Amino acid sequence: MLNTAYTIREKRRACGYTQERLAQALGLTPAAVSKWETGQTLPDVTMLCPLAEALGITTDELLGFNPDVSEKHAEELLQPGRDALAQGDFSNATRLGEKAVQLHPSSATLAFAAASLFMEIAQAAQEAVATSKPAECPPQESVARTALSRSMELFERCRQDGSLEQREAAAFVLAGQYVLSGEHDRALEAARSIHMPQADPRIMEAAALAASGKLDEAENTVRRALEEKGSDVSALQDILSGIQKKRNDR
């Protein structure tokens, strides 16, 4: 009750409403709003949706319900999919991953873990294509494309709705995925949205610039990063080598 009271009060103030204005919008008396905010009473169930809409939040937020799950529980839910992946059953691994996501569709933690699983499925399916007979390739290629697309979709969701750590990690992974898929502008946008990276986001930024043919800008980005820090040198040097190779191939 006290959490709901605090939420109503703080969200009302954030919206710039007085108790009188909020009450008027809901067709109630200011005294009713005052009682909600002091924890004397809770809103009637019929008022939950109108109140949440007036405050610009969901009913879950209004009532203090957290739809997320723990990392441990997320991994438990995805374990059947990982088992199927380990057995080389990529289609079933994808199906089981989707099944897990649908159990808690609002959980950013589960979405992040599932995105990682789908990325692993895509990589494994693509590796299988390289070693398969031509007749076996189309189904595996389809699975790889579907899994990669779903991975990117879920990582994008995490970049918008996840915790700070999830947003940063998702942006870093997405930058690499977009480079590989040829979406260079989106790769740059993702790389440049990273604020507190574990690895320097300029690695992915430079990779995206180089892939899109902006070689001078890519080289300058790499050289600035190399001057400022000694970590990630190997990855940055690889990009420089790739830039030089592209110049030689022109």
What is the chain's pLDDT, residue by residue, as a tens digit (250 residues)? 667 888 899 899 989 999 999 999 999 999 999 999 998 999 999 999 999 999 988 887 788 776 778 899 999 999 999 999 999 999 999 999 999 999 888 899 999 999 999 999 999 998 888 876 666 556 788 899 999 999 999 999 999 888 888 998 999 999 999 988 899 999 999 988 887 655 677 888 888 899 888 999 999 998 888 887 766 677 778 888 888 888 888 7
CA separation for the pair 200, 204 (Å, rounded): 8
Q: 49 and 78, same structural domain?
A: no
DSSP structural state of residue 106 = T
Q: What is the pLDDT of residue 160?
A: 87
DSSP structural state of residue 16 = T
Q: For residue 125, tell me if it sits in a domain.
A: yes
Tally of structural domains, the chain: 3
Q: 48 and 14, same structural domain?
A: yes
DSSP for 63-86 reads HT------HHHHHHHHHHHHHHHH
Q: What is the pLDDT of residue 232?
A: 67
Q: For residue 167, tell me if it sits in a domain.
A: no
Q: 156 and 75, same structural domain?
A: yes
Q: 80 and 158, same structural domain?
A: yes
Give the number of residues written for the chain: 250
CA separation for the pair 231, 200 (Å, rounded): 8
Q: 96 and 34, same structural domain?
A: no
Q: What is the pLDDT of residue 47?
A: 92
Under a CB-based contact definition with an 8 Å cutoff, are residues 177 and 152 in contact? yes
The domain containing residue 56 runs over which residues?
Answer: 2-63
Q: What is the pLDDT of residue 151?
A: 97
What global pTM score does this model have? 0.61
Q: What is the pLDDT of residue 130?
A: 80
